[in-house]
Amino acid sequence: MSNDDYLLDVRGLKVEGWADEKWNPIVKGVDLQLKAGQVMGLIGESGAGKSTLGLAAMGFTKDGCRISGGSAMFDGIDLVKATDEEKRRLWGTQLTYVAQSAAASFNPAHRLVEQTVATTVREGISPMSAAVADAKELYAALQLPNPETIGERYPHQVSGGQLQRVMTAMAMAPRPKLIVFDEPTTALDVTTQVEVLLSMRKAVRDFNTAAIYITHDLAVVAQMADVIKVLRYGEEVEEAETRQMLAEPKEDYTRSLWSVRMLGKEPKASDDIVLEIDGVDAAYGAVKVLHDVSIKLPRGRTVSIVGESGSGKSTTARVVTGLLPPSKGEVRFNGTALPAQLGQRNKDVLRKIQMIYQMADTAMNPRQTVGEIIGRPLEFYHGLKGRAQEKRVIELLEEIDLNEDFYDRLPSELSGGQKQRICIARALAADPEVIICDEVTSALDQIVQEGILKLLMRLQKEKDIAYMFITHDIATVAAISDEIVVMNQGKVVEQGSKTEVLAPPHPEYTQLLLSSVPEMDPDWLTRIEEQRV
């Protein structure tokens, strides 16, 4: 095939990054071909090099990185060999970019419309007045509210989802041949994500623009892309048409990208309530964040609390742990009301309610070894010291599928999944009846998430521990819960067994939340679009 058929033809592209006093490969020779108007999804987990590849395909590298080999032909120009000046003429006009965090990627000192039309005006594509008029049309096409005036605003005056759409408008303004979307919806709540996805897809299709869509979420990319390329460790795993990839992936690794969705658990009911939150109100200063929240946690079961940011799900956890005393209502543990303040609770109660955090990185003291981290609760709660303590730590390490080699390691010498396992072991060391899991898998890659969830389920079966599982990820909820609590704006919207909550009919908010979760079906977004018109 000749190069002329492709808008972008990347061959054997290599990118290196400077770290630890040497150049390390990040992208290890990847090919990527894209025709005009085609959308390619780049998918992979953290460290796969997908963002680096997406930028390098534009001829751009971040500070501390360099392109060390290969070629990237775009419209007859090799972006790898082109001079900075040649590339600058293309960037912002023929080749544009939509970044992950719109809030951070807009210059706080300039108005939105100025930033939207900047390159169009600079390159003389159209005069200021025409460019502004066009920007307003684009805002309208992207379903932004008040398209006539929203451009007069500054970035901090606009919400995150709207900013992401303004950024798409900015990328569209010069009518580029290719747009690179770099995780554009990752930072958004699911209900906002749907809106942004809809308007981005419409814009790309209406203008017949080619796009590279980078994400770690296969369900999202399935809606956007014609072709999907899976990356791992800076190399290509496979590439296929979207439908074919979802129906029959060639590689096991690709299948593992949706492994969490494959987990399943039969929900079991129980009347033996270990923890009960009863009519709790709570406030940070004058701002009330929980309104009459009541939740029951049965012994040895998993209750998932789902909601978007600001729903009050993490605050509920803080009330249970005693970090935030409620202004009304109480928390009962095994039938007895818990003192509201952490300081008034006795050691035995503290021992029985343990907590695992979202970021295992910050949940472990970086100056303590694994042995010290797990050993401390053993000594503190059970008085184990010396040899006995060491023996028990190693037993715990084996329970979480690690071994005694880890005893002397520092947290910085562990992978993300291993860190979270150590945190689980620290909670287990206390011999708890309840573990509060606060978004424990959301910072992890899919395959690691699956491992952690399986471990938690096995431990629950063996030790009859109840989990209060706080998350925003519906796939995880569906995989592991017995019961589900849906929260919105500090109130409980719905609660019940998993089968009840996930099956219709739903209260309005649950309906919105559930319908916003992207499904592993390329037609899902189209269906939503039709429903909403």
Partner 1 sequence: MRTARVEGPLSLHPVLATILKRLGLGLITLFFVSIIIFSSINLLPGDFGEAVLGQAATEETVAAFRRELGLDQPAVVRYFDWIGGVVQGDLGTSFSGRASSGIDRSRSVAELIGPRLENTLFLAALTAVIAVPLALFLGITAALWRNTWYDKSASVTTLTTISFPEFFVAYILILLLGTLWPVFPSLANVQEDMTLGQRVYASILPALTLTLVIVAHMMRMTRAAIINLLASPYIEMARLKGESPRRVILKHALPNAWAPIATVIAFNLAYLVVGVVVVEVVFVYPGVGQLMVDAVSSRDIPVVQACALFFASAYILLNLLADVIGIVTNPRLLHPK
Partner 2 sequence: MSDSAQYSAAAEVGQVRTRRSRWERTWIELKKAPFTAWIGMAIIAFYLILAVFAPLIAPHGEAEVFAVPFAPWSGEHLLGTDQIGRDIFSRLIYGARNTIGIALATTFLAFLIGGGLGLVAAINRSWLDQLISRGVDVFMAIPSLIFALMLLSIFGASAWSLIVIIALIDSTRVFRLTRAVAVNVAVMDYVEAARLRGEGLGWVMRREILPNIMPPLVAEFGLRFCFVFLTIASLSFLGVGIQPPTADWGSMVRETAQLIQFAQFDIRAAFTPLIPAAAIALITVGVNFLVDWFLQKSSGLRDVK
Contacts with partner 2 by CB under 8 A lie at: 18, 21, 63-64, 232, 235-237, 251-253, 255-256, 259, 321-323, 342, 345, 347, 350, 354-355, 357, 359, 362-368, 376-377, 380-381, 400-403, 405-406, 408-409, 412-418, 421, 426, 430, 447-448, 450-451, 455
The answer to whether the CB of 185 falls within 8 A of the CB of 196 is yes
What is the closest distance, in whole angstroms, from the C-beta atom of residue 282 to partner 1 in the complex? 11
Of 457, 82, 98, the closest CA to residue 264 belongs to 457
**Shortest spacing between CB 226 and partner 2, in angstroms:** 24
Q: Which residue lies nearer to partner 1 by CB, 103 or 447?
A: 103
Residue 245 three-state SS: helix
By beta-carbon proximity to partner 1, the closer residue of 98 and 225 is 98
Provide the minimum distance between the beta carbon of 141 and partner 1 in the complex, in angstroms, as a whole number. Answer: 21
Pick 7 or 179: Cβ nearer partner 1: 179
| Beta strand pairing call for 65-74 and 77-78 | antiparallel
- CA distance linking residue 35 with residue 211, whole number of Å: 10
| Binding residues with partner 1: total (CB under 8 A) | 35
Query: What amino acid is encoded at 313 in this protein?
Result: K
Closest distance between partner 2 and the C-beta of residue 119, in Å? 26
- Looking at beta carbons only, is 226 or 404 nearer to partner 2? 404
Cis amide bond preceding 505, omega within 30: yes
Cβ burial, residue 71 (10 Å; 0-12/13-18/19+) = middle
Q: How many helices (H) and strands (E) does the chain have?
A: 22, 20
In the block, residue with structure tokens 């965090």: 101
- Using the rule CB under 8 A, is 96 a contact of partner 1? yes
* Binder of residue 204, out of partner 1, partner 2, none (CB less than 5 to 8 A by kind): none
Token code pair at residue 169: 């408008």
Q: x/- site string to partner 1, residues 4 to 43, per CB under 8 A?
A: ----------------------------------------
User: Smallest Cα–Cα separation from 90: which of 156, 148, 173, 176?
Assistant: 176
- Residue 157 as a binder of partner 1 (CB under 8 A): the answer is yes
Count of beta carbons in the 10 Å neighbourhood of residue 54: 22
Figure out which of the listed residues 289, 317, 378, 396 binds partner 1, where binding follows CB under 8 A. 289
Nearest CA to 351 out of 218, 266, 255, 465 is that of 465
Binding to partner 1 (CB under 8 A) within 40-59 occurs at 55, 58
CA distance 118 to 466: 56
Question: For binding to partner 1 (CB under 8 A), which residues are involved?
Answer: 55, 58, 60, 62-63, 87-93, 96-97, 99, 101, 104-110, 118-119, 153-154, 156-157, 284-287, 289, 310
